[in-house]
Chain A
Amino acid sequence: MIEKEEQPKKKSRREFLQQLGIVGVGTALGGSAILAGINYDKNKTDAQRIRVLTAENELLEIEKGDATKIIPSKHGNLTYLQQQGRDGIAGKRFVMVIDLSKCQNARKCMAACQHAHDLRPEQHHMNVLKMEETETTPPFYMPKPCQHCDNPPCVAVCPVDATFKRADGIVLIDNERCIGCRFCIAACPYSARIFNWAEPLNAQGDKDKVYNVELNVPQKKGTISKCLFSADQVREGKLPYCASACPNGVYYFGDENEDAVTNGTTKETFRFKKLLEDNGGYTLMPELGTKPRVYYLPPKGKTVPFQDKDREEAAEHLHHT
């Protein structure tokens, strides 16, 4: 650390923090505040002072010497973005709630997601399924992202730690490490994973981009992709792409620790537990023991009916072929 401070001022503070991993703020904040984000100010010339964002969302400027490393990063020789992507956001436990009673199959979520992650039209991180669970129960639309399982089979089987679970609950992929064995596809019971069978859609345009684990862009041929809970957006304090794009208020996203989730359409914030309690929230196939972090509210009291043209496809899964 000392050594770093003596380096020429050209070294940005961001890089300085890269070395640090997650930085806690020592004396200035009584040692209790945890860094939730780092605001990078390009024009700042005084290398002795840095700005840090506290968990209470206050932007402070402190002496660099006062910053104490509280959790050393375990990932020595990865790039800054890979390292940050593995560390996650301290103190958070992200959850998503999907209200099936509001989904009208508008598919704006799918489009926004594909656009953000440079996916081909047949590649879905988010897939709105037409569901019919038994012959007598009514069909409904069900957006299905990765469930960010707390006991993720995909992570267990990955031979190289290319897919991993962060402390903040998000399951990500490092496509610079993935060997393309597709064991994780076989292991995921929610069919949440996709593979880059060919050269990715925007391979040319993304060529010079630095790989961002939290966005999984550039996508790479021969590697895995899947829903990332928009970890890049979340890091900036924004809602996931799908949630923000939905016109019908289907998505809520937030932090289980804070017990708060925000609706992507109305931007209203609710108590997470209460929302589940009031609406009979559940998870998909809990019997598998995967412990999803995506919760569903049942398709009760829908205002827009299931469309007739989708009925046949919804029922397909019931028939034995």
Chain B
Amino acid sequence: MLEQSKKDKVTSDLLASIRLTNSFKAWMAFLSISLIVCLGAYVYQLNEGLVVTGLGDYVSWGMYISTFVFFVATSLIGMLISAVLGLSGQKWAAPLARIAEIIALAFAAVAGLVIITDMGRPDRLLNVFIHGRIQSPIVWDITVVTIYVLISTLFLYIPLIPDLKICSEKINKLHPMAQKAYKLLSLNWNGSHEQEQILKKLTRSIAIFIIPVAFAIHTVTSWLFANTLRVGWDSTIFGPYFITGAFVSGTSAIVIAMYFFRKNYKLEEYLSLDLFDKVGKLLVLVSLVYLYFNINEYLVPAYKMKKYDALHITALFTGAHALMFWSVQFFGLVLPIILLVFNKMRKPLPLLIIASFVFIGGWFKRYIIVVPTMEHPFLPIQNVPLNFKVYTPTLTESLVTLAPFILVLLIITVLSKVIPVISIHETIESLEEKNN
């Protein structure tokens, strides 16, 4: 049996983050003010129309859609860590499950808002439900993203129930209202064998169910592009190409979150060096797979150079988008793979830096997928102003693009302040297992 003192230590360590510190308040104030500025930009866009963006009749999707794709991609991490690794018995990843779910939920929920920023008539959003047509990939996307958000909420909540109970009992000087809320949400958890069994079964079922849904959200998102006839999008491997890319962005996101939780919430013992090492290796693995898909996606058309493909490929390889294209491939994929092979690079700080490159590269990669294709239609772009031919994002558009990132940070910060970012219940359980 595990000694009580050890259990208490785990509990108090993991609960320590749940209190209002000054640095938390300052950070929240900073995020809120930034968010308000960005929302101001959105209100301006609402009034003036999408003319305040750099979009035009040819490049009619830009940063907003790139960001949407990126957010859906990143949200897949929940499925990768908790479901895929969890179900395949990769015990080392267990402490990351909750962080992964928090990230997944935040990114998936905000992705839905990003799409609204791109709409010309957000006031008619309900038309999608009133007049929705089943053959449109947008309708599929809205359906699966909604389901994914719901399941992710459950996937976060269900395993959290025992911890909520602990929160209601063990947190010192808790506001009575908060304590009530924890108690209410813990659904009379008493830790009986029966309850444990139900919890295990339920978590397992959700873990299984979330896999196809997660695959669906990103595959369908890829079909928004692949189901058109456009050069650069008209590809049969877009589904798996997007999914593998999603794992890369998601893994880099979890590294960033791990680093800051570890440092700010003093979780060095739980988010151990060994864990960073393992996640670093995971990042190498998913990046290699993604690199493989990149090679297929670009080299095959580049070998053949069909008439219209050639326009697109040359713009990427040597033309207007070459700098971004090669930077993304090199700094966001190839270099991280090479560096992460070395042990030293999988320590927290170097890993954080590498993951940040991968994460930012991931956003630009989505941009590279969305924008250049739209600059290369089959028929020439003529008799229109220059800004219709070349897409240059505006300041307003950039601020509106920033808003979802801030919102995600807000959600993650708040969640990490009201629930333990590592499951207390499971940590104790695994310690007990080790002890026996």
CB distance from A237 to the nearest CB of B (A): 31
Decide: A157 and B58 in contact? CB cutoff 8 A.
no
Task: Among A131, A191, A199, find the residue whose CB has the most chain B CB atoms closer than 10 A.
Answer: A191
Decide: A179 and B319 in contact? CB cutoff 8 A.
no
Chain A residues within an 8 Å CB radius of B319: 320-321
Q: Which of A195-232 contact B (CB under 8 A)?
A: 195-199, 221-223
Decide: A129 and B50 in contact? CB cutoff 8 A.
no
Known: A156-B135, A189-B229, A191-B379. A178 touches B55 (CB 8 A): no
- Judged by DSSP, the binding face of B is loop
Of the residues A189, A193, A284, contact of B57 by C-beta under 8 Å: A193
Residue A130 is within 8 A (CB to CB) of chain B in the complex: yes
Residue B181 is within 8 A (CB to CB) of chain A in the complex: no
Residue A313 is within 8 A (CB to CB) of chain B in the complex: yes
Chain A residues within an 8 Å CB radius of B125: 179
CB distance from B354 to the nearest CB of A (A): 33
Q: Which of B221-260 contact A (CB under 8 A)?
A: 224-225, 227-230
| Chain B count of residues within 8 A CB distance of the other chain | 54
Chain B residues within an 8 Å CB radius of A178: 120-121, 124
**What sequence of 0s and 1s flags, for each residue 358-393 of chain B, a beta carbon within 8 Å of any chain A beta carbon?**
000000000000000010011111111100100000
CB distance from A316 to the nearest CB of B (A): 6
Task: Among B225, B229, B385, find the residue whose CB has the most chain A CB atoms closer than 10 A.
Answer: B229
Of the residues A177, A316, A317, contact of B124 by C-beta under 8 Å: A177
CB distance from A132 to the nearest CB of B (A): 9
Residue A40 is within 8 A (CB to CB) of chain B in the complex: no
- Closest residue of chain B to A131 (Cβ to Cβ) is B380
Known: A177-B127, A198-B48. A158 touches B136 (CB 8 A): yes
Chain B residues within an 8 Å CB radius of A122: 383-385, 388
Residue B78 is within 8 A (CB to CB) of chain A in the complex: no
CB distance from B168 to the nearest CB of A (A): 44
Chain A residues within an 8 Å CB radius of B320: 321
- Closest residue of chain B to A133 (Cβ to Cβ) is B307
Binds B, one of A22-30, A50-58, A180-188, A267-275: A180-188
**What sequence of 0s and 1s flags, for each residue 141-163 of chain A, a beta carbon within 8 Å of any chain B beta carbon?**
00010000000010011111110
Complex alpha-carbon distance, A124 and B229, angstroms: 22
Of the residues A182, A284, A290, contact of B120 by C-beta under 8 Å: A182
Complex alpha-carbon distance, A161 and B378, angstroms: 25
Complex alpha-carbon distance, A303 and B258, angstroms: 73
- Closest residue of chain B to A225 (Cβ to Cβ) is B57
Residue A2 is within 8 A (CB to CB) of chain B in the complex: no
Residue A59 is within 8 A (CB to CB) of chain B in the complex: no
Chain B residues within an 8 Å CB radius of A187: 227-230
Decide: A197 and B136 in contact? CB cutoff 8 A.
no
Decide: A191 and B60 in contact? CB cutoff 8 A.
no
Residue B159 is within 8 A (CB to CB) of chain A in the complex: no
Decide: A127 and B383 in contact? CB cutoff 8 A.
yes
Residue B399 is within 8 A (CB to CB) of chain A in the complex: no
For the A-B complex with A123-B57, A189-B377 known, give 4 more contacts whose Cβ atoms are closer than 8 Å.
A156-B136, A157-B135, A198-B49, A320-B318
Taking Cβ atoms with an 8 Å cutoff, the residues of B that contact A are: 48-51, 53, 55-58, 60-61, 118-122, 124-125, 127-128, 130-133, 135-139, 142, 224-225, 227-230, 310-311, 314-315, 318-320, 374, 377-385, 388
Could you write out 6 A-B pairs with CB less than 8 Å apart? A128-B383, A130-B382, A162-B127, A183-B224, A185-B60, A285-B378
